[in-house]
Copies of this chain bind each other. A is one copy, B any other.
Amino acid sequence: MNIGDVARASGVSAKMIRYYETIGLIPPAERSESGYRNYDDNDVHRLRFIRRARDLGFTVEQMADLLALWRDRSRASSEVKKIALQQVAVLERKAEELKAMSRTLKHLAAHCHGDERPDCPILDDLADAAADPGKAPEPARFGPGGIDPVRVRS
């Protein structure tokens, strides 16, 4: 199988497959005479593994850990569990932060007339809310020393 085939079969783009190879997440693929990468079902399997782990929010580093555990089945499942539960905690915390942000914004938007009047409290809050960190008018606080912002992929 060529890289395009595995890409389609695994859901990981050819670009990313090459990238994962360069960073060492996957071992270098065998090459044909002409230099094309050759893959088999095992590789597809592993790439599906990666794809799924990535979609579950694991970092490349964590994926490397999981792949190592997967490769060596004699290892303790407790390690896998530990990694997974760590990830659960991270995901839940991030979800809570997003919810809090959403709540704040929704609250602010609710007081916005939505007509041509220029007195929308959203801007005032954005401008004034952080004036006295610790005394927030709204539920969600993200002041100094607060919660990490969240980066999302468009």
Interface residues of A (CB under 8 A from B): 10-11, 45-46, 48-49, 51-57, 66, 69-70, 73-78, 80-81, 84-85, 87-88, 90-92, 94-95, 98-99, 101-102, 104-106, 108-109, 112-120, 122-123, 125-127, 129-131, 133, 142-144, 146-153
Residues on B with C-beta less than 8 A from A57 are: 98, 101, 149-150, 152
Among B81, B144, B147, the residue within 8 A (CB) of A120 is B81
- Contact call B153/A149, Cβ cutoff below 8 A: yes
Q: List 25 A-B contacts (CB under 8 A).
A: A11-B144, A52-B125, A52-B129, A56-B142, A73-B118, A73-B123, A76-B118, A77-B112, A77-B114, A77-B120, A77-B122, A78-B115, A80-B120, A81-B113, A81-B122, A85-B109, A88-B106, A92-B99, A94-B150, A95-B95, A95-B98, A98-B98, A148-B152, A150-B153, A151-B151
- Contact call A123/B69, Cβ cutoff below 8 A: yes
Among B94, B114, B117, B142, the residue within 8 A (CB) of A98 is B94
Instruction: Give CA–CA (A105, B83) in the complex, Å.
Output: 10
Known A81-B113, A151-B151; further 20 A-B contacts with Cβ < 8 A: A10-B130, A45-B127, A52-B125, A55-B146, A55-B149, A56-B101, A56-B105, A57-B150, A74-B118, A78-B115, A80-B122, A81-B109, A81-B120, A84-B112, A88-B109, A91-B98, A92-B98, A94-B152, A148-B153, A150-B153
